[in-house]
Amino acid sequence: MATAVFAAVPVAVAQPACENKVSPPPPVDASEEPAPGEQPPRPLEVPESPIGGERLGECGLVLPPNAPALPDGITAKSWLLADLDSGAVLAGLDPHGRQRPASVIKVLLAMVVAKELAPNATVAATPEDIAQECTCVGLRNGAEYTVEQMLQALVMASGNDVAHALARRLGGVPSAIRKMNALAAELGALDTRAVTPSGLDAPGTSTSAYDVALIFREAMKYPDFVKAVVTQRIDFPAANGSGTVPIVNDNRLLTTYQGALGGKSGFTDDAQHTYVGAAARNGKRLVVVLLRGQPQPVRIIDQAARLLDYGFSLETAASANPVGRLVEGAPQAKKKTTEPRPTPTSAGVGEVANTEPDATAQKATAMQTAFGNVGGPITAVAGLGLVLAFVMYLRNRRAKAARAARAARAAATNQPNT
């Protein structure tokens, strides 16, 4: 059906109702029930204009003009293809539709870790880490691990115990969640709200295919993350304290898809199957995201491979006419317009003058207001005073001259001076 309808169609087709514009679909179990006495979080605000371009707000297929037929077997309810370098969005399905991330949210956690923690810093495991709902790597209570070891285990084996331990190292789980969400907002991933560091379902969890691509693209700028995501195997300290155990990267495309650059998969009952990954071919690097997919009749990683092939087949034409863009940061809020203020003259050559209304500037403004508004009348009065003083000066000189003349005449005639 998709092939018949969307092959080589240059115009937008009728869009279905955007069921997930505001929130992911209802949960299938009790994992997102709020704690007793608590209310579920409100859905995230939907931006007035879709981030990355108007077409990305469509909730059906979003394809460039004259796009070839889609591959068969794509089950994801939301997916996206984009150029990892230019940020051009090549194609997608419900790009901003809100879904659950499952473990692909660990990419966001890994980025916060790479930003804040040194690779040789250590993390001691606790019983709380070990008690996390697994998938788990297998930590030993009290054992110390380097951040590098934990970051690799987080990305390669999707350890929920490791995610919890790293979150504690970031100042505690609530602090780590705040940092993850702050970073998502900073990047422009406004459909995303992390509620757990691991991606386990919880009330309010949300993301989108667009956001996952945006986050993965940014994460690929961090060498520590890139090292972890492309590593196929490491030796990790054994949980029993004796020797090491192998951890193998669970991203099967890393060894089966030519040019694979790494990726991350996830699954929960509510999120279903999720995946984000990238690959390179002929000098081009693409990122693919699939959310809420089913592994039948085609495995999710094979669906990702088919979409990557599709993306490379249309990459040149679509890059020249993309359906949208991965933004380089959140759109800035509109600033309130104010009356222009003169630039302070205290700035030196080549310096930017400080235009903030500090105490000194406020005093100067007050002085200017007090005297600038009445400066004209004061100047006029002062000028009139000077004229009157000059007139009085001339009158005094004339009076003195007249008295002197009378005195001279009186002396000449011996008459008194009257």
Output the average pLDDT for the chain: 84
Contacts of 188 (CB under 8 A, 6+ apart): 51, 52, 214, 327, 328, 329, 330, 331
pLDDT at 143 over 80: yes
Of 273, 256, 214, 171, nearest to 52 (Cα)? 214
Q: Is the pLDDT of residue 6 over 60?
A: no
What is the pLDDT, as a whole number, of residue 321?
85
* Lowest-pLDDT choice from 24-38, 92-106, 169-183: 24-38
Can you tell me the mean pLDDT for 165-182? Answer: 98
The pLDDT value recorded for residue 331 is: 84
Would the CA dihedral through 49, 97, 77, 110 be positive or negative? Answer: positive
Q: What does the pLDDT read at residue 64? A: 93
Place of tokens 């409100």: 42
Share of the chain above pLDDT 70, in %: 74
pTM across the whole model: 0.77
Domains within the chain, CATH numbers bracketed: 2-28+49-325 (3.40.710.10), 360-418 (no CATH)
Query: Taking residues 139-159, what's their average pLDDT?
Result: 98
Mean pLDDT computed over 146-154 = 98
**Beta carbons of 104 and 265 less than 8 angstroms apart:** yes
pLDDT in tens, 227-277: 999 999 999 999 999 999 999 999 999 999 999 999 999 999 999 999 999
Q: In this structure, how many other beta carbons lie within 10 angstroms of the beta carbon of residue 189?
A: 25
Is the per-residue pLDDT at 360 higher than 70? no
Cβ–Cβ under 8 Å, residues 210 and 102: no
SS3 72: coil
Task: Return the closest-CA partner of residue 181 out of 217, 210, 211, 150.
Answer: 211
Q: Give strand ranges (E) for 132-185.
A: 144-146
Q: Which two tokens stand for residue 223?
A: 């060498």
Task: Give the count of beta carbons closer than 10 Å to the beta carbon of residue 361.
Answer: 15
pLDDT for res 17? 75
How many residues are recorded in the chain?
418
Paired tokens of 192: 């995303």
| Alpha carbon distance 48, 367 (integer Å) | 43
Q: What is the DSSP pairing of strand 244-248 with strand 233-237?
A: antiparallel
Judged by DSSP in three states, 235 sits in strand
DSSP per position, 267-298: EETTTEEEEEEEEEETTEEEEEEEEEE--SSS
DSSP-derived 3-state class of residue 99 = strand
Tokens of 275: 């995946």
Question: Is the pLDDT score of 187 beyond 70?
Answer: yes
Indicate if the pLDDT at residue 100 is higher than 50: yes
Q: How crowded is residue 92: how many other Cβ atoms within 10 Å of its Cβ?
A: 30
Q: What's the one-letter identity of residue 335? A: K
How does pLDDT run across 298-325, given as a tens digit for each residue? 999 999 999 999 999 986 666 678 999 9
pLDDT, greater one: 123 or 348:
123
Percent helix, strand and coil across the chain, each to the nearest 5: 40, 15, 45
The pLDDT, as a whole number, for residue 218 is 98
Asked if 64 and 317 touch (Cβ cutoff 8 Å), the reply is yes
CB 271 within 8 A of CB 99: yes
Sign of CA dihedral 10, 314, 70, 18: negative
CA angle 285/286/292 to nearest 5° reads 155
Tell me the Ramachandran region of residue 329: left when phi exceeds 0, alpha when psi lies from -120 to 50, beta otherwise. left
Mind listing the pLDDT tens digit for each residue in 326-352?
999 988 754 443 343 333 333 333 333
**Cβ neighbour number for residue 87 with a 10 Å cutoff:** 18
pLDDT of 103: 98
Going by the DSSP 8-state scheme, the letter that residue 206 receives in this structure is: B
Catalytic amino acids? 103, 106, 158
